[in-house]
Amino acid sequence: LKFHKHETGRRNFALIQWSRARMRLNEVLRRVKVSSTLADESLQQAEAWKVEAEDRKVKAEKP
């Protein structure tokens, strides 16, 4: 496969652009993943606290 110098340059440019875009996308995805993991964790934490509070209330109400 023989490309003209110009062609090769254009192809390389496209490849570089693509890999940059992909890197940016991965970065964003990683951030989103992290924040959704954090959101999941805080939801679970909130659930745990709710259950704990309920437990305490029930125990307090029992004579």
Is residue 51 over pLDDT 70? yes
Residue 55 pLDDT? 93
Strand, helix or coil at 63? coil
Residue 63 pLDDT? 74
Is residue 61 over pLDDT 80? yes
* pLDDT tens digits, 3-50: 566 677 888 888 889 999 999 999 999 999 988 898 899 999 999 999
19 neighbors 26 (Cβ within 8 angstroms): no
User: Could you give the CA distance from residue 23 to residue 28 in angstroms, rounded to a whole number?
Assistant: 9
User: Could you give the CA distance from residue 56 to residue 27 in angstroms, rounded to a whole number?
Assistant: 43
Q: Where are the alpha helices (DSSP H) in 1-63?
A: 5-61
